[in-house]
Amino acid sequence: MYSAAMSTAERLIESTRELLWERGYVGTSPKAILERAGAGQGSMYHHFKGKPDLALAAIRRTAEELLATAEEVLGGPGTPYDRIEAYLRRQRDVLRGCPVGRLTMDPDVVADDELRAPVDEALDRIRERLAGLVEEGQEQGRFAPSLDGEEIAAAILATVQGGYVLARASGSPAAFDAAVRGLLSLLAPRNP
């Protein structure tokens, strides 16, 4: 499943990331992590203090990956609207859901300040980046000056996360796509 060159610690982190996405914190047992990683008993405790420490490393990695993916699109070419559209329409496994969004629905992650922190930070940074794009669009005369960048950024994130939920509930990415199209029609740029 994993590359032979991947270290045991890396296999443990990647296995934990996958299991957290699939099963949540409580459903991710040390035994399941070790089996998925192909690691021997005790290797988790050799590299990490225990499940919470390993889960934190996995959550941080997931948050970093989400941020890198978002920044690649939001920092790309085009107008602010083009970049927001690219973020909303980027390739996603819609029916699987968002790995960070999944963590926000996990009561054990949300209840633990340390585990929740990377999730909060990632969503805050994306929200800030989106708000900055709205403000940039306003400066260029492409978005109405009456828009509140923070509110629009929150609406964009809510559309993405809510779109995942609707798609999973219906078993079809069509609900996600409809939410994206609706939001983009509301954000349609003004002619400068």
Decide if 8 is inside a domain. Answer: no
What pLDDT score does 191 carry? Answer: 64
Domain membership flag for residue 48: no
Q: Does residue 96 fall inside a structural domain?
A: yes
Q: Is the pTM of this model over 0.85?
A: yes
Contact partners, residue 43, CB within 8 Å, separation at least 6: 8, 12, 34, 37
DSSP code per residue over 3-49: -TTS-HHHHHHHHHHHHHHHHTTTT--HHHHHHHHT--TTHHHHHSS
pLDDT tens by residue, the chain, 192 residues: 666 568 999 999 999 999 999 999 999 999 999 999 999 888 888 999 999 999 999 999 999 999 999 999 999 999 999 999 999 999 999 999 899 988 888 999 999 999 999 999 999 999 999 999 999 999 999 999 999 999 999 999 999 999 999 999 999 999 999 999 999 999 987 665
Domain presence at residue 14: no
Domain-located, residue 37: no
Instruction: Tell me, yes or no, whether 99 lies in a domain.
Output: yes
Note whether residue 123 is domain-resident.
yes
**Does residue 116 sit within a domain?**
yes
What is the domain extent for residue 168?
Answer: 58-187
Residue 2's pLDDT is what? Answer: 63
Contact 59, 20 (CB under 8 A): yes
pLDDT attached to residue 45:
86
| CATH number of the CATH domain containing 133 | 1.10.357.10
Quote the pLDDT of residue 72: 96
pLDDT at site 84: 98
Q: How many domains does the chain have?
A: 1
